[in-house]
Chain A
Amino acid sequence: METGDEELMGAVAAGDCGALRALYDRYRARIMSYAFYALGDRGRAEDILQETFIRVFRHAGRFRPGERFSTWAYAIAANLCRDEMRRLRRRRGINAPVPPGPAGERRAPAAESPRRLAAAGEAADRLAAEIAALPGEQREVLALRFIEGMRYAEIAAALRIPIGTVQSRLHAGVRALRARLTEFR
């Protein structure tokens, strides 16, 4: 039988790199995808994934038995993504002020990012590009709901926001995507 996440975390807390590797293999694509769709950039998503696992290792002692590893790890990744979004906003704020209004958060996704999804076809490319152009708070709930298939309560726990906020951000995100993509008119 496969060792449970929580059991592996016990070993990680005692310094076991093999256990950390097992958790990494189990969650790398999930956290990577979450960060990719939340940030719209592959390189940044890899940085987030790396930093998430460094923190998992360093703070393993804070992990309490009975807690779900996935929620705990996503909370770390989500915090890192938000820091990154703030950093990018600040940098943009200095170099190139963005016009206010609903398009204020829009930014062109990094050149290499949605193109890398070529295998998934052009429609998925366009969708990924439009997700990348949404406000960060909508991107993160969309990623957790659709890429990770999380329930609202899990998303609320990972992002530390009320369930009602999860719902309203999802609705706003889905509505905005439909408005931007002609194939869903």
Chain B
Amino acid sequence: MNCPIDSDTIIACCLGELDDLRAGEVRRHAGSCERCGRELRAFASLCGALDALPRVEPDGRLWGAILARVERTWPLLPWRPAVAAAAAAIAVALGYVFTREAPRPPAGVAVEEMGSRFAHRRIDGGDLSASLRTYLGDARAFIDEALACGGDRDRWRALKERAAERDMVYRALWLRERLIAGEGRRGGGEEDFALVDDLLRILRLVSDRPAEALAADREAIGREIEDMDLPRRLERGAGW
């Protein structure tokens, strides 16, 4: 039998691809043609079943896993109490308007507390390459210097200028991404991450780099790391 419509047209009709006029023609024909009527009913009921397929929810714990990874990538957000306190002291010293929601204990105590936190810390690169160890050493030196500034405004301003000059924020973000890329097999340990996070928190205060510029840095670094395919290289046991 010669039908004026083919099965593709019937499928198109069921998928809503046809305009009203053409769809009307198809339905009229299907009403009087047994074969096309059967086709139309079958595809329409299949499309109805597809439309009714349920959505699937992820496990409720998935967000926690995402947040943990995000915080490793971008540590400028939640403040650990000791660092938050030190940050408050720095902000006071620099005359910043400090709008973070972090708690603000008395400044002197906070800086002291932060100092004691760092006092016992050693840079232990483990499997990290010499260059990463050097960067981590630099990071530590900068933090030590920041802690030594206490409430001295002039010293803070000098440190701030040097941070800008050396593009410290970018370096710190880069360092952190490197640690993440090497995480697990040859990368830094928790202490290394904590060190870079502390550095970034301090830099956040002494840096005038606006949020958009920081986002651009982060993006550029992420792309660089991706292009280098570091995680996969590390998987294969290759060096940095």
Contact = CB atoms under 8 A, between A and B. Distances in A.
B5 interface: no
Interface in A57-107: 57-62
Contacts of A17: 67, 70-71, 77-78
A127 B212 contact: no
Interface string B50-91: 111111111100110111011101101110000000000000
Interface string B196-240: 000000000000000110111011001000000000000000000
A178 B67 contact: no
A165 interface: no
B12 A171 contact: yes
Interface string A150-174: 0010000000000000010011001
B53 A124 contact: yes
Given A17-B77, A185-B42, A29 B55 contact: yes
B45 interface: yes
Interface in B78-126: 78
Contact of B211 (A14, A50, A123, A170): A14
Interface string A45-61: 11001100110011111
Interface of A is mostly: helix
Interface of B is mostly: helix
A174 B43 contact: yes
B53 A37 contact: yes
A171 B66 contact: no
B148 interface: no
B11 A177 contact: no
Contacts of A14: 211-212, 214-215
Contacts of B66: 20, 24, 50, 53-54
Contact of A61 (B11, B54, B69, B216): B216
B46 interface: yes
Given A28-B58, A58-B218, A58-B222, A127 B71 contact: no
A138 interface: no
Nearest to B14: A174
Chain A interface category by residue count: 35 or more
A28 B215 CA distance: 24
A182 to B, nearest CB: 11
Residue among A45, A116, A177 with max Cβ neighbours from chain B (10 Å): A177
B50 A146 contact: yes
A52 to B, nearest CB: 9
A61 B56 contact: no
A115 interface: no
Contacts of B33: none
Given A15-B211, A127-B53, A177 B58 contact: no
B195 to A, nearest CB: 20
A50 B64 CA distance: 10
Contact of B53 (A58, A120, A167): A120
Given A50-B66, A58-B219, A32 B53 contact: no
Contact of A60 (B7, B45, B215): B215
A175 B50 CA distance: 13
14 contacts: A20-B70, A24-B63, A32-B57, A33-B56, A42-B56, A50-B65, A50-B66, A61-B219, A120-B53, A127-B50, A145-B15, A171-B11, A175-B11, A184-B45
Interface of A: 13-17, 20-21, 24, 28-30, 32-33, 36-37, 42, 45-46, 49-50, 53-54, 57-62, 116-117, 119-120, 123-124, 127-128, 142, 145-147, 152, 167, 170-171, 174-175, 177-178, 181, 183-185
